[in-house]
Amino acid sequence: MHPLALIALGAFVASSPLLLTTLETLKKVLLPWVDTAGPIISLDNSFFLRGMMLAAMFAALAMLFVCLLKTAYGRLDKTLLMVGSASYLIGMVILGVIDFFPGAPSQIFEFLGVPIGFGSAIMCMAWMQQLHIGSYHSTLKGLAALALCALLLDGICLILSSQIAGLLLMALAVFGTIYCLVGIRRMPAPVESTVPGANWWDILGHLDVSLVDEGHDFVAPLQRVLLFVATPATMLLLLVLGLDLHRSASTVQAFPIGVVGGAIAIVLCIPLLVLRTSRRTMNIAYRFYLPIIAMLVFIAGNFAPEGTHQVVMTTGIYAFCLLYALIMCSTIVTMAGRMRSLRLPIASLLVVAAGLIALTGNATINAGALNAYKFDALLVLLILSALLLVSLSSGKFWNLVLEGQPANAEQITPAANKTTLEQRCQMVAEQYSLTNRETEILQYLGRGHGSAYIAEVLVVAESTVRSHVKSIYRKVGVSSREQLLEKIDSVDK
């Protein structure tokens, strides 16, 4: 992306009220309009928060449903894009200037959440359509930089007046939105296809992504549940309970957990960013680094000086959950970057996740007699999250998902074996009566390319390539790409 585009994206992310960190900033901006009885402003029962998040989630779920019905690449309708951007801009502008009119009716503030939430969801989708992502490693760097933008804004707004903070949010939102709209107008129309194929549910729900043709290396239901359900749900519970415990302790309420925890998460992300390959980055992040961080937070919270246990534990958990969110988001955003048909659905899923985090993160948990055991429950969830991360699948799957090639693809040297590889593929094609198109795709598969890359080169739909790959597997009598490569390697032996 162009450097100015990156700045505009950073401005949008830093000012988007869908993020938990920006909601902390809004607490200062909305100071005259909410209950200020305590040292921390509460948005728990605010219609602004509920209306904003529910509107954003409704728009995202509606887009998911549309993408589910489409057999071509889903895209934003021009009218919907204009309505969404106008709603977002108008809402953010009013939010920016409302502090200068303390006599304005509070109902204006209360109902601002709906257009801002709806517009935020649409703009998230619009930005996702413009992303050009290379590798998982570069995606993690980009998301860490965006998180840093939001963190800096939150820190700056702590020392600014509410009026200036509101104007700053408004200016960043206007700049990010207008630049995004200009970029959308310059983009070429996406390639459409009338060939029936997999929609986002087939891809995400069954893990049948083009980069993992038929998902034979990841067929265990337990692994799917651990990665996409159990671990994220545990992390969400951990974050919600940590924030609730932080708010309920009068001695730490004024502590800026968002700024401090966010800064720790960014610092913890640096060792991952210096690793050289995407596969190494992802393997170390999930299976070693995150569990180690969880154990360090556990130890620090339990052995902190007397009176600081709770603040150390809750801040550490906030940093741990934010680091996990960066790593997990990098995984699915990388998929979206490599598959155009996934960009809108993944943007919608991220909006839904952000809405759930914001709603539950600002909720107050009243467990009655069990309130005294919240800290113990926090410790149990922290240990459970570490165990779930360690239990995730091996690096072979991550290599397939992120690199679009089998684990042994690095052993292939195209410059030295190009002719031999083509001859072997031709022999396989003749032996098993493959069509000309299947033979062509077989050669790309033999070189280690994924279906997304093949679809781009051949200018066909990814679903078409997947259909040909399944036909190749059936004719050759294999069930995975690794078996297909073994067949190619052994055909002349």
**Rounded mean pLDDT, 48-69:** 87
Residue 411 placed within a domain: yes
**Rounded mean pLDDT, 101-116:** 76
Size of the chain in residues: 493
Residue 211 placed within a domain: no
Q: Which of 18-22, 231-235, 348-352, 378-382 has the lowest mean pLDDT?
A: 18-22
Q: How many domains does the chain have?
A: 2
Tell me the pLDDT band of 238, cut-offs 50, 70 and 90: very high
Residue 162 placed within a domain: yes
Query: What is the rounded distance in angstroms from the CA atom of residue 121 to the CA atom of residue 55?
Result: 8
Of 80 and 423, the one with more pLDDT: 80
Boundary-marking domain end, from 366, 399, 432: 399
Whether the full predicted model's pTM is greater than 0.75, yes or no, is no
The two tokens of residue 325 are: 């969110």
Q: What is the DSSP letter of 217?
A: G
Q: What is the DSSP letter of 169?
A: H
Contact by Cβ (8 Å): 356, 239? no
**CA 292 to each of CA 166, 257, 378: distance values in angstroms, whole numbers, following the listed order:** 39, 21, 17
Contact by Cβ (8 Å): 170, 92? yes
φ, ψ for residue 304, nearest 5 deg: -70, 160
Do 255 and 299 sit in the same domain of this protein? yes
Query: What is the rounded distance in angstroms from the CA atom of residue 72 to the CA atom of residue 227?
Result: 28
Residue 232 placed within a domain: yes
Residue 67 placed within a domain: yes
Q: Which domain holds residue 440?
A: 404-490
pLDDT at 138: 82
Do 286 and 168 sit in the same domain of this protein? yes
Do 187 and 279 sit in the same domain of this protein? yes
Residue type, 78: K
Do 343 and 464 sit in the same domain of this protein? no
Rg from Cα positions in the chain: 24
The two tokens of residue 96 are: 């920016």
pLDDT at 253: 55
Do 479 and 378 sit in the same domain of this protein? no
pLDDT at 219: 43
Contact by Cβ (8 Å): 157, 165? yes
pLDDT at 191: 42
Query: What is the rounded distance in angstroms from the CA atom of residue 169 to the CA atom of residue 19?
Result: 13
Tell me the pLDDT band of 108, cut-offs 50, 70 and 90: confident
Query: What is the rounded distance in angstroms from the CA atom of residue 19 to the CA atom of residue 17?
Result: 5
Do 463 and 383 sit in the same domain of this protein? no
Of 490 and 291, the one with more pLDDT: 291
Quick one: CA dihedral 407, 412, 413, 418, positive or negative? negative
CATH assignment at residue 295:
1.20.1250.20
Do 387 and 300 sit in the same domain of this protein? yes
CATH assignment at residue 448:
1.10.10.10
Do 159 and 227 sit in the same domain of this protein? yes
pLDDT at 129: 80
Do 225 and 370 sit in the same domain of this protein? yes
Name the 3-class secondary structure at 304. coil
Residue 208 placed within a domain: no
pLDDT at 221: 52
Do 387 and 427 sit in the same domain of this protein? no
Residue 204 placed within a domain: no
CA-based max dimension of the chain:
85
Residue 64 placed within a domain: yes
**Rounded mean pLDDT, 195-203:** 47
Query: What is the rounded distance in angstroms from the CA atom of residue 218 to the CA atom of residue 434?
Result: 27
Of 229 and 406, the one with more pLDDT: 229
pLDDT at 400: 44
Name the 3-class secondary structure at 207. coil
Name the 3-class secondary structure at 276. coil
Query: What is the rounded distance in angstroms from the CA atom of residue 399 to the CA atom of residue 126?
Result: 29
Tokens 């996934």 correspond to what residue?
A: 342
Residue 242 burial (10 A CB sphere; 0-12, 13-18, 19+): buried
pLDDT digits over 435-450, tens only?
A: 888 888 888 888 777 7
Tokens 């410059």 correspond to what residue?
A: 415
Asked if pLDDT for residue 68 goes beyond 70, the answer is yes
The two tokens of residue 81 are: 């894009």
**Rounded mean pLDDT, 477-493:** 76
Boundary-marking domain end, from 379, 399, 419: 399
Boundary-marking domain end, from 369, 399, 429: 399
Query: What is the rounded distance in angstroms from the CA atom of residue 313 to the CA atom of residue 261?
Result: 10
pLDDT at 411: 38
Asked if pLDDT for residue 388 goes beyond 80, the answer is yes
Do 131 and 263 sit in the same domain of this protein? yes
Q: What is the DSSP letter of 372?
A: G
Do 459 and 366 sit in the same domain of this protein? no
Comparing CA positions, the residue from 304, 307, 302, 349 lying closest to residue 329 is: 349
The two tokens of residue 88 are: 């977002």
Tokens 């929609």 correspond to what residue?
A: 199
pLDDT at 405: 41
